[in-house]
Chain A
Amino acid sequence: MVIPYVRGFFKYRSLLIEFVERDIKTRYRRSILGLLWTLLNPLLTMTVMTVVFSTLFRSNIENFPVYILSGYTIYNFFSESTNSAMNSVIGGSSLIKKVYIPKYLFPLSKVLSTVVNLIASFIALLLVMLFTKTTVTANVLLIIFPMLYLFLFSLGIGMILSSLALFFRDIIHLYGVLLTLWMYLTPLFYPLEILPAWTKVIVQINPLTSIIEYTRLITLYGAIPPLELNLICMIPGVISCAFGLWIFYNTQDKFILHM
Protein backbone atom coordinates (compact mmCIF):
# COMPACT_ATOMS: atom_id res chain seq x y z
CA MET A 1 0.00 0.00 0.00
CA VAL A 2 2.87 2.36 0.77
CA ILE A 3 4.93 1.53 -2.31
CA PRO A 4 2.79 3.44 -4.86
CA TYR A 5 3.03 6.50 -2.61
CA VAL A 6 6.80 6.31 -2.44
CA ARG A 7 6.92 5.89 -6.21
CA GLY A 8 4.54 8.82 -6.62
CA PHE A 9 6.72 10.96 -4.42
CA PHE A 10 9.75 10.22 -6.56
CA LYS A 11 7.86 10.89 -9.75
CA TYR A 12 6.67 14.24 -8.48
CA ARG A 13 9.72 15.34 -6.53
CA SER A 14 10.70 17.76 -9.30
CA LEU A 15 7.24 19.28 -9.00
CA LEU A 16 7.83 19.77 -5.29
CA ILE A 17 11.09 21.55 -6.11
CA GLU A 18 9.33 23.67 -8.75
CA PHE A 19 6.63 24.66 -6.25
CA VAL A 20 9.20 25.68 -3.65
CA GLU A 21 11.23 27.62 -6.21
CA ARG A 22 8.11 29.35 -7.48
CA ASP A 23 7.17 30.44 -3.97
CA ILE A 24 10.56 31.93 -3.32
CA LYS A 25 10.80 33.56 -6.74
CA THR A 26 7.38 35.18 -6.64
CA ARG A 27 7.67 36.30 -3.03
CA TYR A 28 10.31 38.91 -3.76
CA ARG A 29 9.92 39.26 -7.52
CA ARG A 30 9.26 42.98 -7.67
CA SER A 31 11.39 44.13 -4.77
CA ILE A 32 14.76 45.75 -5.30
CA LEU A 33 16.43 44.06 -2.35
CA GLY A 34 14.94 40.69 -3.26
CA LEU A 35 16.03 37.78 -1.15
CA LEU A 36 17.85 40.14 1.21
CA TRP A 37 14.45 40.85 2.74
CA THR A 38 14.42 37.42 4.35
CA LEU A 39 17.40 38.64 6.36
CA LEU A 40 16.23 42.21 6.88
CA ASN A 41 12.73 41.29 8.03
CA PRO A 42 13.69 39.52 11.26
CA LEU A 43 16.41 42.07 11.99
CA LEU A 44 14.02 45.01 11.68
CA THR A 45 11.29 43.31 13.72
CA MET A 46 13.83 42.47 16.37
CA THR A 47 14.97 46.10 16.47
CA VAL A 48 11.42 47.36 16.88
CA MET A 49 10.66 44.89 19.64
CA THR A 50 13.93 45.57 21.44
CA VAL A 51 13.30 49.31 21.36
CA VAL A 52 9.71 48.88 22.54
CA PHE A 53 10.54 46.53 25.36
CA SER A 54 13.66 48.25 26.60
CA THR A 55 12.13 51.74 26.71
CA LEU A 56 8.35 51.40 27.13
CA PHE A 57 8.24 48.29 29.24
CA ARG A 58 11.36 47.77 31.22
CA SER A 59 12.34 44.16 31.13
CA ASN A 60 15.27 42.82 33.05
CA ILE A 61 16.11 39.98 30.73
CA GLU A 62 19.75 40.14 29.87
CA ASN A 63 20.76 40.21 26.24
CA PHE A 64 17.24 41.05 25.20
CA PRO A 65 17.95 41.29 21.42
CA VAL A 66 19.11 37.67 21.27
CA TYR A 67 16.34 36.57 23.63
CA ILE A 68 13.62 38.10 21.51
CA LEU A 69 15.06 37.14 18.13
CA SER A 70 15.51 33.49 19.09
CA GLY A 71 11.87 33.25 20.16
CA TYR A 72 10.59 35.33 17.31
CA THR A 73 12.41 33.19 14.72
CA ILE A 74 10.65 30.05 15.95
CA TYR A 75 7.21 31.58 16.37
CA ASN A 76 7.39 33.37 13.05
CA PHE A 77 8.22 30.22 11.15
CA PHE A 78 5.30 28.47 12.77
CA SER A 79 2.82 31.23 12.01
CA GLU A 80 4.02 31.86 8.45
CA SER A 81 4.28 28.23 7.41
CA THR A 82 0.96 27.11 8.88
CA ASN A 83 -0.80 30.13 7.45
CA SER A 84 0.46 29.63 3.92
CA ALA A 85 -0.08 25.87 4.15
CA MET A 86 -3.67 26.52 5.23
CA ASN A 87 -4.37 28.46 2.04
CA SER A 88 -2.30 26.21 -0.20
CA VAL A 89 -4.95 23.67 -1.19
CA ILE A 90 -7.55 26.36 -1.87
CA GLY A 91 -4.95 28.24 -3.91
CA GLY A 92 -4.10 25.14 -5.88
CA SER A 93 -7.70 24.37 -6.76
CA SER A 94 -7.34 25.34 -10.42
CA LEU A 95 -4.69 22.66 -10.75
CA ILE A 96 -6.36 20.06 -8.58
CA LYS A 97 -9.51 20.31 -10.65
CA LYS A 98 -7.68 19.56 -13.86
CA VAL A 99 -4.71 17.31 -13.35
CA TYR A 100 -3.88 14.52 -11.00
CA ILE A 101 -1.06 15.51 -8.70
CA PRO A 102 -0.45 14.36 -5.13
CA LYS A 103 -2.29 16.95 -3.08
CA TYR A 104 -0.01 16.88 -0.07
CA LEU A 105 2.57 18.63 -2.27
CA PHE A 106 0.73 21.91 -1.69
CA PRO A 107 1.06 22.21 2.10
CA LEU A 108 4.45 20.48 2.05
CA SER A 109 5.91 22.90 -0.49
CA LYS A 110 4.65 25.92 1.46
CA VAL A 111 6.24 24.73 4.69
CA LEU A 112 9.47 23.91 2.83
CA SER A 113 9.68 27.32 1.20
CA THR A 114 9.24 28.96 4.61
CA VAL A 115 12.32 27.04 5.74
CA VAL A 116 14.33 29.44 3.59
CA ASN A 117 13.08 32.25 5.81
CA LEU A 118 13.87 30.22 8.91
CA ILE A 119 17.46 29.77 7.81
CA ALA A 120 17.78 33.47 6.97
CA SER A 121 16.36 34.38 10.38
CA PHE A 122 18.88 32.10 11.99
CA ILE A 123 21.69 33.84 10.14
CA ALA A 124 20.27 37.14 11.37
CA LEU A 125 20.28 35.70 14.87
CA LEU A 126 23.95 34.77 14.53
CA LEU A 127 24.74 38.29 13.34
CA VAL A 128 22.96 39.78 16.35
CA MET A 129 24.83 37.40 18.63
CA LEU A 130 28.16 38.57 17.20
CA PHE A 131 27.06 42.17 17.42
CA THR A 132 25.99 41.89 21.07
CA LYS A 133 29.20 40.00 21.88
CA THR A 134 27.40 36.85 22.98
CA THR A 135 29.81 33.96 23.14
CA VAL A 136 29.09 31.75 20.17
CA THR A 137 29.95 28.11 20.76
CA ALA A 138 29.91 25.15 18.41
CA ASN A 139 26.66 24.12 20.10
CA VAL A 140 24.71 26.52 17.89
CA LEU A 141 25.06 23.87 15.20
CA LEU A 142 22.55 21.81 17.20
CA ILE A 143 19.97 24.23 15.79
CA ILE A 144 19.08 21.61 13.17
CA PHE A 145 17.31 19.61 15.90
CA PRO A 146 14.82 22.27 17.02
CA MET A 147 14.39 23.20 13.36
CA LEU A 148 13.47 19.61 12.55
CA TYR A 149 11.01 19.34 15.47
CA LEU A 150 9.48 22.65 14.50
CA PHE A 151 9.21 21.56 10.87
CA LEU A 152 7.34 18.38 11.79
CA PHE A 153 5.00 20.22 14.15
CA SER A 154 4.21 22.98 11.65
CA LEU A 155 3.75 20.56 8.77
CA GLY A 156 1.21 18.55 10.76
CA ILE A 157 -0.77 21.61 11.81
CA GLY A 158 -0.50 22.98 8.27
CA MET A 159 -1.95 19.80 6.76
CA ILE A 160 -4.85 19.74 9.22
CA LEU A 161 -5.62 23.39 8.48
CA SER A 162 -5.31 23.06 4.71
CA SER A 163 -7.88 20.29 4.75
CA LEU A 164 -10.29 21.90 7.23
CA ALA A 165 -10.13 25.33 5.57
CA LEU A 166 -11.52 23.79 2.42
CA PHE A 167 -14.61 22.49 4.17
CA PHE A 168 -15.09 25.47 6.45
CA ARG A 169 -13.73 28.72 5.10
CA ASP A 170 -14.15 30.52 8.44
CA ILE A 171 -11.17 28.57 9.74
CA ILE A 172 -9.02 31.05 7.82
CA HIS A 173 -10.32 33.99 9.83
CA LEU A 174 -10.46 32.10 13.08
CA TYR A 175 -6.88 30.96 12.76
CA GLY A 176 -5.64 34.55 12.44
CA VAL A 177 -7.09 35.27 15.87
CA LEU A 178 -5.81 32.01 17.26
CA LEU A 179 -2.29 32.87 16.07
CA THR A 180 -2.36 36.14 17.99
CA LEU A 181 -3.47 34.34 21.12
CA TRP A 182 -0.80 31.72 20.50
CA MET A 183 1.84 34.43 20.25
CA TYR A 184 0.98 35.79 23.68
CA LEU A 185 1.03 32.27 25.11
CA THR A 186 4.56 31.82 23.82
CA PRO A 187 7.35 33.32 25.89
CA LEU A 188 8.72 35.60 23.18
CA PHE A 189 9.32 38.73 25.21
CA TYR A 190 8.70 37.66 28.80
CA PRO A 191 10.38 35.06 30.99
CA LEU A 192 8.30 32.09 32.17
CA GLU A 193 8.93 33.00 35.82
CA ILE A 194 6.75 36.11 35.81
CA LEU A 195 3.59 34.19 34.93
CA PRO A 196 0.92 33.25 37.46
CA ALA A 197 0.66 29.51 38.05
CA TRP A 198 -2.35 28.75 35.84
CA THR A 199 -1.08 30.55 32.77
CA LYS A 200 2.33 29.04 33.28
CA VAL A 201 0.81 25.60 32.80
CA ILE A 202 -0.74 26.60 29.48
CA VAL A 203 2.43 28.23 28.25
CA GLN A 204 4.44 25.17 29.20
CA ILE A 205 2.10 22.82 27.35
CA ASN A 206 2.60 24.93 24.22
CA PRO A 207 5.06 22.93 22.10
CA LEU A 208 6.63 26.14 20.77
CA THR A 209 7.73 27.01 24.30
CA SER A 210 10.01 24.00 24.59
CA ILE A 211 11.39 24.50 21.09
CA ILE A 212 12.20 28.12 21.95
CA GLU A 213 13.74 27.01 25.22
CA TYR A 214 15.93 24.60 23.25
CA THR A 215 17.00 27.34 20.85
CA ARG A 216 17.84 29.72 23.67
CA LEU A 217 19.87 27.08 25.46
CA ILE A 218 22.16 26.61 22.48
CA THR A 219 22.37 30.25 21.41
CA LEU A 220 22.04 32.41 24.50
CA TYR A 221 23.75 30.06 26.94
CA GLY A 222 25.91 27.92 24.64
CA ALA A 223 24.73 24.77 26.43
CA ILE A 224 23.93 21.28 25.22
CA PRO A 225 20.23 20.58 25.85
CA PRO A 226 19.43 17.44 27.85
CA LEU A 227 17.90 14.40 26.19
CA GLU A 228 14.52 14.95 27.91
CA LEU A 229 14.16 18.31 26.22
CA ASN A 230 14.78 16.67 22.85
CA LEU A 231 11.99 14.23 23.56
CA ILE A 232 9.64 16.94 24.85
CA CYS A 233 10.18 18.83 21.59
CA MET A 234 10.04 15.83 19.30
CA ILE A 235 6.92 14.08 20.58
CA PRO A 236 4.43 16.88 19.76
CA GLY A 237 6.10 17.15 16.34
CA VAL A 238 5.65 13.48 15.56
CA ILE A 239 2.08 13.40 16.89
CA SER A 240 1.06 16.49 14.94
CA CYS A 241 2.65 15.19 11.76
CA ALA A 242 1.01 11.77 12.03
CA PHE A 243 -2.37 13.26 12.85
CA GLY A 244 -2.05 15.78 10.01
CA LEU A 245 -1.22 13.08 7.49
CA TRP A 246 -4.14 10.97 8.73
CA ILE A 247 -6.68 13.78 8.37
CA PHE A 248 -5.31 14.85 5.01
CA TYR A 249 -5.22 11.33 3.64
CA ASN A 250 -8.78 10.63 4.70
CA THR A 251 -10.26 13.84 3.35
CA GLN A 252 -8.30 14.42 0.15
CA ASP A 253 -10.72 12.61 -2.16
CA LYS A 254 -13.46 15.01 -1.12
CA PHE A 255 -11.40 18.14 -1.77
CA ILE A 256 -12.53 18.53 -5.33
CA LEU A 257 -16.19 18.55 -4.33
CA HIS A 258 -15.65 21.64 -2.19
CA MET A 259 -13.66 23.79 -4.57
Chain B
Amino acid sequence: MSDNIIEVENVSMRFNLYKEKVDSIKEYFIKLAKGTLHYEEFWALRDISFSLGKGDSLGLVGRNGSGKSTLLKLLAGVMKATSGSVRVGGSVAPLIELGAGFDMDLTAKENIYLNGAVLGYSKKEMDGHFNKIVEFSELEEFLDVPVKNFSSGMFARLGFSIATVGVPDVLIVDEILAVGDFKFQEKCQDRIQSMLKGGTTLLFVSHSAEQVMELCTKALWLDGGKMKMFGEVSHVCEAYANS
Protein backbone atom coordinates (compact mmCIF):
# COMPACT_ATOMS: atom_id res chain seq x y z
CA MET B 1 0.00 0.00 0.00
CA SER B 2 1.28 3.42 -0.90
CA ASP B 3 0.24 6.71 0.63
CA ASN B 4 -1.85 7.57 -2.37
CA ILE B 5 -5.54 7.76 -1.68
CA ILE B 6 -6.51 7.76 -5.33
CA GLU B 7 -4.76 5.75 -7.98
CA VAL B 8 -5.95 5.76 -11.55
CA GLU B 9 -4.06 3.55 -13.96
CA ASN B 10 -4.49 3.46 -17.72
CA VAL B 11 -8.20 4.03 -17.46
CA SER B 12 -10.27 4.04 -20.61
CA MET B 13 -14.01 4.28 -20.91
CA ARG B 14 -15.92 3.26 -23.98
CA PHE B 15 -19.54 3.91 -24.78
CA ASN B 16 -21.42 2.18 -27.55
CA LEU B 17 -23.40 4.81 -29.30
CA TYR B 18 -26.32 3.24 -31.07
CA LYS B 19 -27.43 5.16 -34.10
CA GLU B 20 -30.97 4.81 -32.87
CA LYS B 21 -31.83 3.92 -29.33
CA VAL B 22 -33.04 0.34 -29.22
CA ASP B 23 -34.94 -0.36 -26.07
CA SER B 24 -37.78 -2.56 -27.13
CA ILE B 25 -37.62 -6.27 -27.73
CA LYS B 26 -39.30 -6.06 -31.12
CA GLU B 27 -36.85 -3.51 -32.47
CA TYR B 28 -33.94 -5.41 -31.01
CA PHE B 29 -34.80 -8.68 -32.71
CA ILE B 30 -35.76 -7.08 -36.01
CA LYS B 31 -32.46 -5.24 -36.10
CA LEU B 32 -30.58 -8.29 -34.96
CA ALA B 33 -32.15 -10.38 -37.73
CA LYS B 34 -31.51 -7.74 -40.36
CA GLY B 35 -27.99 -7.36 -39.07
CA THR B 36 -28.43 -3.63 -38.66
CA LEU B 37 -27.70 -3.45 -34.99
CA HIS B 38 -24.86 -1.07 -35.56
CA TYR B 39 -23.26 1.15 -33.09
CA GLU B 40 -20.30 3.41 -33.00
CA GLU B 41 -17.66 3.13 -30.40
CA PHE B 42 -17.00 6.30 -28.54
CA TRP B 43 -14.09 6.63 -26.17
CA ALA B 44 -15.02 9.11 -23.47
CA LEU B 45 -11.69 8.59 -21.77
CA ARG B 46 -8.47 7.12 -23.05
CA ASP B 47 -5.53 5.96 -21.07
CA ILE B 48 -5.79 8.22 -18.04
CA SER B 49 -3.29 7.71 -15.25
CA PHE B 50 -2.63 9.79 -12.19
CA SER B 51 -2.48 9.51 -8.45
CA LEU B 52 -3.31 11.75 -5.54
CA GLY B 53 -2.12 11.72 -1.97
CA LYS B 54 -4.02 12.58 1.19
CA GLY B 55 -4.94 16.26 1.37
CA ASP B 56 -4.25 16.89 -2.30
CA SER B 57 -6.88 18.72 -4.25
CA LEU B 58 -7.30 18.18 -7.92
CA GLY B 59 -9.07 20.51 -10.30
CA LEU B 60 -10.39 19.01 -13.52
CA VAL B 61 -10.50 21.45 -16.39
CA GLY B 62 -11.47 20.98 -19.98
CA ARG B 63 -14.13 21.87 -22.47
CA ASN B 64 -17.64 20.43 -22.57
CA GLY B 65 -17.57 16.77 -23.49
CA SER B 66 -13.93 16.30 -22.67
CA GLY B 67 -14.72 13.53 -20.20
CA LYS B 68 -14.56 15.37 -16.88
CA SER B 69 -17.86 14.12 -15.58
CA THR B 70 -17.18 10.60 -16.79
CA LEU B 71 -13.92 10.60 -14.85
CA LEU B 72 -15.71 11.79 -11.72
CA LYS B 73 -18.34 9.09 -12.12
CA LEU B 74 -15.63 6.45 -12.37
CA LEU B 75 -14.03 7.79 -9.21
CA ALA B 76 -17.36 7.90 -7.39
CA GLY B 77 -17.93 4.24 -8.27
CA VAL B 78 -21.04 5.01 -10.26
CA MET B 79 -19.56 3.54 -13.43
CA LYS B 80 -16.96 0.91 -14.08
CA ALA B 81 -14.09 1.56 -16.44
CA THR B 82 -13.87 -0.41 -19.69
CA SER B 83 -10.21 -1.05 -19.01
CA GLY B 84 -7.63 0.01 -16.49
CA SER B 85 -8.05 0.30 -12.75
CA VAL B 86 -9.43 2.90 -10.39
CA ARG B 87 -8.55 2.59 -6.75
CA VAL B 88 -9.99 4.89 -4.12
CA GLY B 89 -8.90 4.15 -0.59
CA GLY B 90 -11.51 5.61 1.70
CA SER B 91 -14.96 7.06 1.89
CA VAL B 92 -16.25 9.17 -0.99
CA ALA B 93 -18.82 11.93 -0.65
CA PRO B 94 -20.09 12.97 -4.06
CA LEU B 95 -21.59 16.40 -4.50
CA ILE B 96 -22.61 15.74 -8.07
CA GLU B 97 -25.88 17.53 -8.76
CA LEU B 98 -27.22 18.37 -5.37
CA GLY B 99 -30.44 16.84 -4.26
CA ALA B 100 -30.34 13.89 -6.62
CA GLY B 101 -31.25 11.70 -3.70
CA PHE B 102 -34.18 13.75 -2.49
CA ASP B 103 -37.69 12.40 -2.52
CA MET B 104 -39.98 15.29 -3.45
CA ASP B 105 -42.89 14.08 -1.34
CA LEU B 106 -40.93 13.80 1.86
CA THR B 107 -40.19 16.66 4.23
CA ALA B 108 -36.76 18.21 4.62
CA LYS B 109 -36.28 16.37 7.88
CA GLU B 110 -37.11 13.00 6.35
CA ASN B 111 -34.91 13.77 3.38
CA ILE B 112 -31.95 14.53 5.62
CA TYR B 113 -32.13 11.00 6.97
CA LEU B 114 -32.77 9.50 3.54
CA ASN B 115 -29.90 11.35 1.91
CA GLY B 116 -27.60 10.58 4.81
CA ALA B 117 -28.35 6.90 4.35
CA VAL B 118 -27.62 7.23 0.64
CA LEU B 119 -24.18 8.47 1.59
CA GLY B 120 -23.75 5.44 3.81
CA TYR B 121 -24.36 6.91 7.25
CA SER B 122 -26.25 4.87 9.80
CA LYS B 123 -29.29 6.24 11.55
CA LYS B 124 -27.32 6.72 14.74
CA GLU B 125 -24.62 8.74 13.00
CA MET B 126 -27.31 10.86 11.38
CA ASP B 127 -28.91 11.58 14.75
CA GLY B 128 -25.56 13.01 15.78
CA HIS B 129 -25.16 15.01 12.58
CA PHE B 130 -28.72 16.26 12.33
CA ASN B 131 -28.36 19.54 14.22
CA LYS B 132 -25.16 20.44 12.41
CA ILE B 133 -26.86 19.93 9.07
CA VAL B 134 -29.85 22.04 9.98
CA GLU B 135 -27.67 24.78 11.38
CA PHE B 136 -25.39 24.96 8.37
CA SER B 137 -28.23 24.89 5.85
CA GLU B 138 -30.12 27.65 7.73
CA LEU B 139 -33.39 25.88 7.03
CA GLU B 140 -34.66 25.53 10.60
CA GLU B 141 -38.09 26.90 9.75
CA PHE B 142 -38.65 24.61 6.80
CA LEU B 143 -37.89 21.23 8.34
CA ASP B 144 -41.44 19.94 8.03
CA VAL B 145 -42.05 21.24 4.53
CA PRO B 146 -42.00 18.73 1.65
CA VAL B 147 -38.93 19.53 -0.43
CA LYS B 148 -40.95 19.87 -3.62
CA ASN B 149 -41.83 23.32 -2.32
CA PHE B 150 -38.17 24.28 -1.96
CA SER B 151 -36.41 26.71 -4.22
CA SER B 152 -33.31 25.55 -6.05
CA GLY B 153 -31.15 27.55 -3.67
CA MET B 154 -32.68 25.81 -0.67
CA PHE B 155 -32.13 22.50 -2.39
CA ALA B 156 -28.49 23.24 -2.89
CA ARG B 157 -28.04 24.40 0.69
CA LEU B 158 -29.60 21.28 2.11
CA GLY B 159 -27.70 18.99 -0.26
CA PHE B 160 -24.37 20.63 0.45
CA SER B 161 -24.93 20.55 4.20
CA ILE B 162 -25.71 16.85 4.19
CA ALA B 163 -22.87 15.83 1.89
CA THR B 164 -20.24 17.71 3.83
CA VAL B 165 -21.32 16.96 7.37
CA GLY B 166 -18.94 14.08 7.89
CA VAL B 167 -15.28 14.21 7.06
CA PRO B 168 -15.04 12.08 3.94
CA ASP B 169 -11.64 10.96 2.65
CA VAL B 170 -12.56 12.15 -0.81
CA LEU B 171 -14.96 14.93 -1.70
CA ILE B 172 -16.20 15.21 -5.27
CA VAL B 173 -17.56 18.57 -6.35
CA ASP B 174 -19.02 19.02 -9.82
CA GLU B 175 -19.68 22.70 -10.51
CA ILE B 176 -22.24 23.20 -7.84
CA LEU B 177 -20.76 26.15 -6.09
CA ALA B 178 -22.48 28.39 -8.58
CA VAL B 179 -25.80 27.95 -6.77
CA GLY B 180 -27.08 29.63 -3.68
CA ASP B 181 -26.53 33.26 -2.83
CA PHE B 182 -23.13 34.87 -2.51
CA LYS B 183 -22.97 34.52 1.25
CA PHE B 184 -23.73 30.84 1.15
CA GLN B 185 -21.18 30.28 -1.59
CA GLU B 186 -18.57 31.80 0.67
CA LYS B 187 -19.67 29.59 3.48
CA CYS B 188 -19.32 26.55 1.23
CA GLN B 189 -15.84 27.55 0.16
CA ASP B 190 -14.84 28.02 3.78
CA ARG B 191 -16.10 24.60 4.65
CA ILE B 192 -14.25 23.01 1.76
CA GLN B 193 -11.09 24.79 2.82
CA SER B 194 -11.41 23.51 6.37
CA MET B 195 -12.03 19.98 5.08
CA LEU B 196 -8.88 20.24 2.99
CA LYS B 197 -6.94 21.20 6.08
CA GLY B 198 -8.41 18.17 7.80
CA GLY B 199 -6.86 15.90 5.20
CA THR B 200 -9.75 15.44 2.80
CA THR B 201 -8.82 14.95 -0.83
CA LEU B 202 -10.82 17.16 -3.14
CA LEU B 203 -11.83 16.55 -6.73
CA PHE B 204 -13.24 19.64 -8.31
CA VAL B 205 -14.67 20.25 -11.75
CA SER B 206 -15.13 23.71 -13.10
CA HIS B 207 -15.03 25.72 -16.25
CA SER B 208 -13.63 28.58 -14.30
CA ALA B 209 -9.86 28.47 -13.98
CA GLU B 210 -10.06 31.05 -11.20
CA GLN B 211 -12.11 28.85 -8.90
CA VAL B 212 -9.80 25.94 -9.58
CA MET B 213 -6.74 28.02 -8.73
CA GLU B 214 -8.38 29.15 -5.54
CA LEU B 215 -9.20 25.68 -4.23
CA CYS B 216 -6.78 23.24 -5.79
CA THR B 217 -3.14 22.37 -5.60
CA LYS B 218 -3.07 20.20 -8.71
CA ALA B 219 -4.92 20.24 -11.96
CA LEU B 220 -5.71 17.81 -14.74
CA TRP B 221 -6.56 19.08 -18.18
CA LEU B 222 -8.69 16.79 -20.27
CA ASP B 223 -9.13 17.26 -23.97
CA GLY B 224 -11.26 14.92 -26.04
CA GLY B 225 -10.95 12.20 -23.42
CA LYS B 226 -7.18 12.34 -23.33
CA MET B 227 -4.93 13.72 -20.67
CA LYS B 228 -3.40 16.85 -22.00
CA MET B 229 -1.62 17.98 -18.90
CA PHE B 230 -1.32 17.05 -15.25
CA GLY B 231 0.62 18.92 -12.61
CA GLU B 232 0.80 22.05 -10.52
CA VAL B 233 -2.39 24.03 -10.67
CA SER B 234 -0.80 27.28 -11.84
CA HIS B 235 1.01 25.60 -14.73
CA VAL B 236 -1.96 23.70 -16.02
CA CYS B 237 -4.44 26.53 -15.61
CA GLU B 238 -2.16 28.92 -17.38
CA ALA B 239 -1.77 26.58 -20.32
CA TYR B 240 -5.49 25.94 -20.35
CA ALA B 241 -6.35 29.61 -20.27
CA ASN B 242 -3.99 30.27 -23.17
CA SER B 243 -5.31 27.45 -25.33
A interface with B by C-beta (< 8 Å)? 11-15, 17-18, 22, 25-26, 29, 94-101, 167-171, 253, 256-258
Looking at the complex, which one of A96, A99, A256 makes contact with B94 (CB distance below 8 Å)? A99
Chain B residues lying within 8 Å of A18, measured Cβ to Cβ, are 113-114, 117
Looking at the complex, which one of A14, A17, A25 makes contact with B106 (CB distance below 8 Å)? A25
Query: B123 an interface residue at 8 Å Cβ cutoff?
Result: yes
Interface string of B78-97 (1 = CB under 8 A from A): 11100000000000101011
Q: Main SS of the interface on chain A? A: helix
Which chain B residue shows the least CB distance to A257? Answer: B15
> A99 to B118, Cβ gap below 8 A?
yes
Chain A residues lying within 8 Å of B180, measured Cβ to Cβ, are none
> B100 to A95, Cβ gap below 8 A?
yes
Q: How far is the CA of A256 from the CA of B97 in the complex (A)?
A: 16
Q: Which of B22-30, B51-59, B131-139 contacts A (4 or more CB under 8 A)?
A: B22-30
> A15 to B97, Cβ gap below 8 A?
no
Known interface pairs A97-B100, A169-B23, A256-B78. Does A17 touch B92 (Cβ–Cβ under 8 Å)? no
> A15 to B120, Cβ gap below 8 A?
yes
Chain B residues lying within 8 Å of A97, measured Cβ to Cβ, are 73, 78, 100
> A171 to B25, Cβ gap below 8 A?
yes
Closest 3 CB pairs of A and B: A100-B77, A15-B117, A98-B100
Query: B152 an interface residue at 8 Å Cβ cutoff?
Result: no
B15, B78, B117, B119: residue with the most chain A Cβ atoms closer than 10 Å: B117
- Can you report 5 residue pairs joining A to B where beta carbons are below 8 Å apart? A26-B103, A98-B101, A99-B76, A99-B119, A170-B24
Q: How far is the CA of A257 from the CA of B15 in the complex (A)?
A: 8
